């Protein structure tokens, strides 16, 4: 701080009220006077109808030019705090009474902060590549044309769409070009957009997998779609059912790694669902949320590569980088592009051009591949530790979905899921049970074509930061039920 | 490039088709084989049903380990490109025929690129403070907690809400605290959210100003609201009309600087609209899109400061920084917070945590004030040049709305607006006429309570980059109509 002498506060009596002028704020003495008078009226210290001293008299008291005070009065009249009438001087304006139920201190919603978190949905955000991201941001912002800071079009930045077209072809076998990619603020926004487009096409119902994320289901239901769940087995969704459900012309699937069961869709079923879509002119919404993370062999390529005109490929940076970016992308069949843009280009669905430019540079520079590779190693190591610990200390617990992704499913003895979750919560371990992800049709559920509901746990080993993983694993082992009869 | 010798391509004959392996790509020879086979199937060179050579035989041809080929076959079976059956070997899987209306080259929509652009809506984006923004991003990302990269809550980052609460109180006279601020992806998203909340409250109609932005009107109409325009005069919207329109319990206003006419709402009307809202338990949506840019005295404070429980203050970074950020904010009455969050927290309306953190740091460090101050000088200089040029060379043209903002309105002789716009377009100058912003009720418009429609031009002197402003000004002067009879 500069060492200087300056008047930083002045006090005047205005209609019996002490008026403190804080001269350290911006805008000089006039601004300070405006702030002080405004605050006095606002707080009720200067009540409605009170006549203020003349500008000349207050100026003298404060040692200011008369015009300064007159300007301040004028400004507050313009803002509606004061009134000025010929002959009656400047007065505090009448104000409506404040609402009775005015301010209460709003507590920040109590976010339960468990000691350990193995709930699915988030990658290990402690590993966000801050330095590499900033370096990409610097290069991207230096190179960006001025127009990148303007409104832009509904498709998203062309730099990012070009980078994604190349990356998705290379890494996920997606067939596309930049003109068929629409960037959106995360998968959820993409799903909401697609739901509306389906409704505009007159499609009233969509198939989903029996187990999935309830907020995905809600997004489709908010768009006005009726949902029809497909049963799941060890080969993924039983897509043959689509042939019997003649009201369906769209289906949401997670073919590379079904969420939450973790199985990939069987090759025969991949072919079958594409045949179905081709026959009924239907659409497959492919949720490829964690397609990059496959540990024991090459990633399973995207279904979209088989039938680009029947599949909408939905990708996201939420698992590969961070949910906080709110960046996802749709790869659309040619015939759907204009309809999606008609919904998206209304101005409500935008997202940051700066992050889009940065992600494009992050991908093009190879930093994205490096980050995915390093995270794949990290997650695989955790998965191996988890599987080994379970084999050693809870061999009676079945584990599925271990080949890919950021979570596995533990099968539990029937009727034990809620007890295990309660024990976990008691121990400071946040987890979700399989039943939470089962789509329920309410009244009809009892008649669910005899599908069995399974007891199980989702163990999202990708969620905690590295340092917390061993503790989380120990906590998990403590709360698992013993062998039958044990 | 490293100067090295390596095999970068291999060729094999597969069922009579040349298979080119590009070994320069990622993932080694197995990945190259998978890509080559996938592409051959995809392109139709290997047709459905074709039997592939045994893995042993292809491995010999290519000089690879047999397992590499077997793995590649297995992967492509998993992806649905190939089928494998005991006894019949590995074959190309049947594929649905491609849609007849498959790919056409989609031309990039022809964005008219005029030589000069004086259309409103965008600040001078060439002045985006890239260096200061990156410096703030570096500090913000270094300091951010890991959880900032996760999903976050619907309100937006707490760092930004705290910075905004402080800034808005100081600069705009807004009364708030961080818990009542909701960050959104630009004003348009905020308006869409508010429209839905109004409908949920059973409010079916909203007042608007007769002149305004059609996409704001559309956002409210999409939410299901019927719109009822208020006449405008030189004191702003005639809010006294609200008392007669008993079906209205909400009104969208731009009190600091009416868009597009440029007048501030008269002090008496500020008080009157607050009284109306208080009496009918109504809501005022205050669009404060450019409140920072006032040239000849202190900014007019926000209406919200008069009645925080009746006004939703809507602010944006689109004019003060850049539309490409897609960042705006709502300051909500206490009683509205939960309802807005109920709509916003569905996951479709997120925006980048990184930009939010950066903007918070940008504000807190004083960089935002500095940028606004420097832009205010730049815009004021342009405004002065514009006003002086008009006074000198087109003194018969009336200019209004010069005290603030990024545009003025030129009044034109009745019936000349379209001619001037055509002449401007011919001269490479993009401009909008006043009539474009007039809310039309369709059939009823002829009966518009006798309100006069004005011919006029919006001249958004804030839009062009500095170097283009003199040329834009000259082009404008060329196309203005001469004095009456001239």
A387 and A287 within one domain: no
pLDDT of residue A77: 83
Size of interface A-B (CB pairs under 8 A): 283
* Dist. CA A374–CA A364, nearest whole Å: 17
Say yes or no to pLDDT of A261 above 70: yes
User: Pick from A108, A85, A82, A86: which is nearest to A94 by CA?
Assistant: A82
The verdict on residue A100 lying in a domain is no
* Dist. CA B444–CA B426, nearest whole Å: 34
Element of type H or E holding B252? strand B250-253
pLDDT of residue A25: 66
Region of residue B470 (left: phi > 0; alpha: psi -120 to 50; beta: else) = alpha
Q: Which two tokens stand for residue B219?
A: 């956002």
- Judged by CB atoms closer than 8 Å, whether chains meet at A106 and B337 is answered as yes
Q: Which of A213-227, A444-458, B1-15 has the lowest mean pLDDT?
A: B1-15
**What are the backbone angles phi and psi of residue A411, rounded to the nearest 5°?**
-80, 135
Q: Which of A73, A217, A309, A348 to mutate to test the interface with B (most CBs of B within 10 A)?
A: A348
Residues in contact with B349: Cβ distance below 8 Å, sequence separation at least 6, in sequence order: A185, A189, B154, B184, B185, B189, B193, B343
* Dist. CA A71–CA A65, nearest whole Å: 10
A361 and A400 within one domain: no
- Within 10 angstroms of residue B342's Cβ, the number of other Cβ atoms is 13
The verdict on residue A102 lying in a domain is no
Facing residue for A185 by CB, picked from B125, B335, B350: B350
pLDDT of residue B133: 98
**What are the backbone angles phi and psi of residue B107, rounded to the nearest 5°?**
-70, 145
Domain edge (last residue) among B303, B336, B365: B365
- Judged by CB atoms closer than 8 Å, whether chains meet at A334 and B71 is answered as no
* Dist. CA B450–CA B114, nearest whole Å: 37
A289 and A430 within one domain: no
- What stretches of B273-407 adopt beta strand conformation (E)? 283-287, 311-316, 328-331, 398-400
Nearest residue on chain B to A104, alpha-carbon basis: B334
A226 and A137 within one domain: yes
Full-model pTM: 0.83
B328 and B425 within one domain: no
A389, A459 Cβ separation under 8 angstroms: no
Paired with B457 in beta bridges are: B410, B433
**What are the backbone angles phi and psi of residue A269, rounded to the nearest 5°?**
-75, -35
The verdict on residue A318 lying in a domain is yes
Nearest residue on chain A to B324, alpha-carbon basis: A149
Q: Which two tokens stand for residue B315?
A: 């602010």
Q: Tell me the mean pLDDT in the region A470-480.
A: 96
Number of domains in chain B: 3
* Dist. CA A103–CA B97, nearest whole Å: 64
pLDDT of residue B376: 94
No. of helices (H) and no. of strands (E), chain A: 13, 19
Q: Tell me the mean pLDDT in the region A148-172.
A: 94
* Dist. CA A283–CA A250, nearest whole Å: 5
B292 and B375 within one domain: no
B contact residues 109-138, partner A, Cβ 8 Å cutoff? 109, 121-122, 125-126, 128, 130, 133-134, 137-138
Say yes or no to pLDDT of A79 above 80: no
Q: Which two tokens stand for residue B479?
A: 């196309």
pLDDT of residue B281: 95
The verdict on residue A195 lying in a domain is yes
A248 and A317 within one domain: yes
* Dist. CA A481–CA A397, nearest whole Å: 9
**What are the backbone angles phi and psi of residue B50, rounded to the nearest 5°?**
-60, 130
Cα angle A139-A145-A147, degrees, rounded to a multiple of 5: 135
User: Pick from B330, B326, B127, B103: which is nearest to A183 by CA?
Assistant: B326
Alpha helices in A10-65, H assignment, sequence order: 28-42, 55-62
Q: What is the CATH number of the domain that holds B155?
A: 3.40.640.10
Confidence of residue A453 (pLDDT cuts 50, 70, 90): confident
Cα angle B120-B121-B122, degrees, rounded to a multiple of 5: 105
pLDDT of residue B6: 43
The verdict on residue B397 lying in a domain is yes
Domain edge (last residue) among B92, B113, B145: B92
A391 and A306 within one domain: no
Say yes or no to pLDDT of A332 above 90: yes
Confidence of residue A231 (pLDDT cuts 50, 70, 90): very high
Which residue do the tokens 């980052």 mark? Answer: B157
C-alpha distances (whole Å) from A260 to each of A209, A215, A375, B109 are: 10, 13, 20, 41
The verdict on residue A60 lying in a domain is yes
Q: Which of A123-127, A441-445, B70-74 has the lowest mean pLDDT?
A: A441-445
Confidence of residue A324 (pLDDT cuts 50, 70, 90): very high
A154, A197 Cβ separation under 8 angstroms: no
A305 and A176 within one domain: yes
Domain edge (last residue) among B62, B92, B122: B92
Half-sphere exposure of A147 (CA within 13 A, CB side): 9
A327 contact residues in B (CB cutoff 8 A): 352
- Judged by CB atoms closer than 8 Å, whether chains meet at A300 and B465 is answered as no
Element of type H or E holding B433? strand B432-433
* Dist. CA B193–CA B188, nearest whole Å: 9
Nearest residue on chain B to A42, alpha-carbon basis: B306
Q: What is the CATH number of the domain that holds A48?
A: 1.10.10.10
Let me know how long chain B is: 486
B contact residues 330-349, partner A, Cβ 8 Å cutoff? 333-335, 337, 346-349
- Judged by CB atoms closer than 8 Å, whether chains meet at B267 and A31 is answered as no
A149 and A72 within one domain: no
pLDDT of residue A186: 94
- Judged by CB atoms closer than 8 Å, whether chains meet at A173 and B97 is answered as no
The verdict on residue B226 lying in a domain is yes
- Within 10 angstroms of residue B362's Cβ, the number of other Cβ atoms is 27
Q: Which two tokens stand for residue B296?
A: 């000849």
Facing residue for B79 by CB, picked from A142, A151, A301: A301
pLDDT mean values, one per 10 residues, chain B (486 residues): 46 77 74 85 81 87 85 83 82 62 38 81 95 97 95 93 95 94 96 96 95 94 94 95 95 96 94 97 96 80 95 97 96 96 89 96 96 95 96 94 93 92 92 92 56 87 95 96 72
Tell me if chain A has a CB within 8 Å of the CB of B161: no
Higher local confidence (pLDDT), A339 or A87? A339
A37, A72 Cβ separation under 8 angstroms: yes
* Dist. CA B51–CA B82, nearest whole Å: 10
Domain, as residue range, for A290: 132-365
Tell me if chain A has a CB within 8 Å of the CB of B327: yes
* Dist. CA B25–CA B226, nearest whole Å: 58
- For helices A187-200 and A337-344, the axis angle rounded to 10 degrees is 110
Confidence of residue A144 (pLDDT cuts 50, 70, 90): very high
Q: Which of A41-45, A222-226, B158-162, B337-341 has the lowest mean pLDDT?
A: A41-45
Residue A20 CA to its chain's centroid (Å)? 45
- Average per-residue pLDDT for chain A: 88
A contact residues 397-456, partner B, Cβ 8 Å cutoff? none
Q: Which two tokens stand for residue A384?
A: 């191996």
Q: Which two tokens stand for residue B92?
A: 């190309």
**What are the backbone angles phi and psi of residue A323, rounded to the nearest 5°?**
-60, -30
A95 contact residues in B (CB cutoff 8 A): 274, 306-307
Higher local confidence (pLDDT), B238 or A291? B238
The verdict on residue B122 lying in a domain is no
B339 contact residues in A (CB cutoff 8 A): none
Higher local confidence (pLDDT), B384 or A99? B384
Q: Which two tokens stand for residue B88?
A: 């019949």
B376 and B361 within one domain: no
Q: Is the peptide bond before B260 cis (omega within 30 degrees of 0)?
A: yes
B319 and B200 within one domain: yes
Tell me if chain A has a CB within 8 Å of the CB of B243: no
Q: How far is B2 from chain A (nearest CA, A)?
A: 17
**What are the backbone angles phi and psi of residue B482, rounded to the nearest 5°?**
-75, 175
Pairing of strands A328-331, B181-184: unpaired
């Amino acid at each position: 701080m500069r060492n200087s002498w300056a008047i930083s506060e002045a006090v005047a009596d205005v209609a019996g009220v002490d008026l403190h002028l804080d001269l350290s704020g911006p805008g000089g003495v006039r601004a300070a006077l405006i702030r002080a008078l405004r605050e006095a009226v606002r707080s009720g210290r200067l009540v409605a109808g009170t006549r203020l001293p003349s500008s000349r008299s207050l100026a003298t008291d404060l040692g200011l030019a008369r015009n300064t005070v007159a300007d301040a009065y004028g400004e507050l009249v313009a803002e509606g705090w004061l009134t000025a009438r010929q002959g009656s001087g400047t007065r505090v304006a009448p104000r409506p009474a404040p609402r009775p139920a005015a301010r209460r201190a709003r507590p920040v919603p109590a976010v339960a902060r468990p000691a350990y978190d193995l709930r699915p949905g988030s990658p290990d955000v402690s590993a966000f590549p801050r330095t590499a991201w900033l370096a990409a941001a610097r290069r991207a912002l230096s190179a960006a044309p001025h127009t990148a800071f303007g409104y832009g079009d509904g498709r998203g930045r062309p730099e990012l769409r070009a980078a994604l077209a190349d990356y998705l072809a290379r890494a996920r076998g997606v067939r596309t070009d930049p003109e068929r990619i629409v960037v959106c603020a995360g998968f959820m926004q993409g799903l909401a957009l697609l739901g509306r487009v389906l409704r505009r096409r007159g499609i009233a119902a969509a198939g989903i997998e029996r187990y999935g994320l309830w907020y995905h289901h809600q997004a489709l239901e908010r768009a006005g779609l009726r949902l029809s769940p497909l049963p799941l087995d060890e080969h993924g969704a039983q897509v043959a059912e689509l042939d019997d459900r003649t009201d369906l012309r769209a289906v949401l699937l997670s073919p590379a790694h079904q969420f939450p069961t973790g199985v990939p869709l069987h090759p025969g079923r991949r072919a079958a669902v594409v045949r179905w879509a081709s026959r009924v002119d239907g659409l497959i919404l492919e949720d490829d949320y964690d397609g990059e993370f496959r540990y024991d062999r090459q990633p399973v390529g995207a279904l979209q590569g088989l039938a680009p005109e029947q599949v909408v490929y939905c990708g996201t940076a939420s698992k590969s980088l961070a949910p906080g970016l709110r960046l996802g992308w749709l790869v659309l069949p040619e015939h759907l592009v204009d309809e999606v843009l008609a919904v998206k280009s209304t101005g409500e669905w935008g997202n940051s051009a700066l992050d889009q430019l940065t992600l494009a540079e992050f991908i093009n520079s190879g930093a994205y591949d490096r980050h995915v590779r390093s995270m794949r190693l990290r997650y695989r190591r955790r998965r191996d530790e988890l599987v080994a610990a379970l084999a050693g200390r809870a061999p009676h617990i079945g584990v599925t979905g271990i080949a890919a992704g950021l979570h596995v499913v533990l099968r539990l003895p029937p009727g034990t899921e809620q007890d295990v979750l309660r024990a976990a919560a008691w121990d400071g371990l946040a987890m979700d049970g399989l039943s939470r992800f089962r789509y329920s049709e309410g009244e009809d559920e009892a008649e669910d074509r005899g599908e069995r509901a399974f007891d199980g746990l989702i163990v999202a080993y990708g969620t905690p930061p590295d340092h917390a993983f061993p503790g989380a694993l120990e906590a998990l082992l403590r709360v698992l039920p013993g062998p039958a009869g044990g």
